[in-house]
Amino acid sequence: MNQTSPTIDRSAPVAGAAETSIGALPEIVWDVLLAIEDWPSWNPDVKEASLEGAVAPGTQFRWKSGPGTIVSTLQHVDRPRLVAWTGKTFGVKAFHVWRLEPRDEATLVRTEETFDGVVARLFRGRMHKMLTDGLENGLRHLKAEAERRARG
C-alpha cells in the first residue's frame, strides 16, 4: 500500500465494494463524509460518533454501529478525493477506502472495505453479507445527505 493510492487486500477473508453517482460536487460529498461527528444525523446505522482531533492521518475516531463501538484511525486523507481508515471491533480488523471522482456536477463515489481476524474467518459468509449491506446502505445515506446539501 503506498501513500497516494491505498488499496484493500483482496485476499482478506471478507472483502466488499460498492459505488454510486451522487448529484453533488466532491467537496460537498467530502464535507458530509468527513464530518464524522455528524454521521448519526444522516446515517441511521450509526448511533454515535466522535473524532479525537483534526481530520488528518493518525487521528482516531470512535463510532457505534450495530452492537459494538468501532475504534478507527485515519490512514490517508487527500481532500476531496480519497480517505482511508483502519478499524477494530470484537476481534475484527477492518480497512476502508473511499474514492471521490468528479463527474461534471456530480461525484462518482467508490468504497471498498475488508475484514480480517479470527471472527472474519469463522463467520466469513455472514460477515460478507453484513459488509455488503453496510457499504450499500452507507452510500445510499451519503447520497441522500450530499444531494440534500447540494440543493440547499
pLDDT tens per residue, range 91-138 = 899 999 999 999 999 999 999 999 999 999 999 999 999 999 999 999
The CATH code of the domain at 14-151 is 3.30.530.20
Domain residue ranges in the chain: 14-151
**pLDDT of 5:** 74
**How does residue 4 score in pLDDT terms, banded at 50, 70 and 90?**
low
Diameter over CA atoms, the chain: 46
Element (H, E) at 122: helix 118-122
**pLDDT of 40:** 98
* Cβ neighbours around 142 below 10 Å, total: 23
On the question of pLDDT at 3 being above 80, the answer is no
**pLDDT of 1:** 39
User: Grid cell 481530520 — which residue?
Assistant: 55
On the question of pLDDT at 65 being above 70, the answer is yes
**pLDDT of 91:** 87
Element (H, E) at 140: helix 124-151
**pLDDT of 132:** 96
Q: What is the mean pLDDT of the chain?
A: 94
**pLDDT of 90:** 86
Please give the model's pTM, rounded to 2 decimal places. 0.93
